[in-house]
Structure 1
């Protein structure tokens, strides 16, 4: 049986995703009509990684099952799964830690908070894949279609609450390898975070510093679907 965390990776509703995926298909068709780059993530000629992506038939069963469940849940398979399957043991370790950090139900961070930390630190690390994919997830979890874009440009000018600003200040301090002092923790505590929340913020920033660099190493490219997700309002008749 596949790891249970796969069902948590794409919590956004199928209705929201279906609207996003329809828009992605329109986006790809218009791009092709204009002579643009082919962006369909199901296109086998698409560049995903500079390392070979194994055929699914050559992968261990648990990884194939996990990929199938993620694809069925979200409507497409994010390219990070394809790229990291080049080394199955590392694939398992990566997604096990990812799940512990990003899908836990305890602590003071929401799922939108966690995604915003990834966006802010990934833009500092110039990681295209993580900026694009996690800003998409933030839009869906937060139902705010613009905040992640503001953070990408300059989080210091973004429309953040004091709580969000303190969170990102701390995350960026860890990301930059600043010397962490008691003042950093006190700034978090002043807006309601505790020491365990500080660990979570720092751990997410640290884990994605590694993830960002793996994306650089592999030249990992975002799926076209991510660019559209969370930007398109749900059709009123979709729930019927």
Structure 2
């Protein structure tokens, strides 16, 4: 049985502006499939382009947070927002970037009990406060992150990634975007870290 990937129109790559089609083709070449979120958002090309640009500005920039830390924020935030697509998709990416087949499931179910370093725990504590109670952020929250070794730029990144994925989670949930089946098995065959 084929399931719809979105409750809104889904556009094929052949019907996209060239810049978006090329960008998505590059992602598909790297991953082996086209993530459903792009097909589901493609009926609004300007919004998809802005979404991808901001995503890349936060998630692909050099320096600061590691790529695994960035994905960990996404998984924890998406779990708090009950976003199946983002937990599954970014959980797969987290497993690969952390080289750890367990961490994504641990973070998605209960990050407080996950095998985290003190730095990672401080990062997720702040991210979840931004996700769920941003109006309560106070200087002590930033001091705790500084004590954990985060720079001002990294603290901004934690908050910005959390906020961006709050938006993404809501769009995905509103549109009922289904995760690609391929995401479920990615990174699961890695050796378990001690």
Q: 1:186 aligns with which of 143, 158, 169?
A: 143
Equivalent of residue 74 in structure 2, options 118, 123, 129: 118
Q: How does 1:59-208 map to 2 (within 5 A)?
A: 59-107=16-64, 109-178=65-134, 179-208=136-165
Unaligned stretches of 5+ residues in structure 1 = 1-37, 39-44, 235-240
More helix by share: 2
Q: 1:184 offset after TM fit, Å?
A: 0.3
The whole-number CA distance in structure 2 between the counterparts of 1:192 and 1:233 is 29
**Cα distance between partner residues in 2 of 1:55 and 1:101:** 26
Conserved 8 A contact 2:100-2:190: no
**Which string of whole-angstrom CA distances, capped at 9 and with x for unpartnered residues, describes residues 116-166 of structure 1?**
000001000000000000110000000111111111111111111100000
TM-score of the aligned structures, taking structure 1 as reference length: 0.76
Secondary structure of the residue aligned to 1:203 is: helix
Report deviation, 1:57. 2.8
TM normalised by structure 2 equals: 0.94
Instruction: State how far apart, in whole Å, the 1-side matches of 2:143 and 2:190 are.
Output: 39
Map Cα deviations across residues 172-193 of structure 1 (whole Å, 9 max, x no partner): 0100133111110111111110
Whole-Å separation in 1 of the counterparts to 2:190 and 2:108: 22
Per the alignment, residue 28 of structure 1 pairs with: none
**Separation (CA, whole Å) in 2 of partners of 1:117 and 1:57:** 33
Runs of 4+ in 1 over 6 A off after TM superposition: none
Q: CA deviation at 1:55?
A: 2.9
How far 1:98 sits from its partner (Å)?
Answer: 0.2
Match of 1:224?
Answer: 181
> Unpaired segments of 5 or more residues in structure 2?
none
Deviations 1:79-137 (A, max 9, x none): 11111101000000000000000000022x10000000000010000000000001100
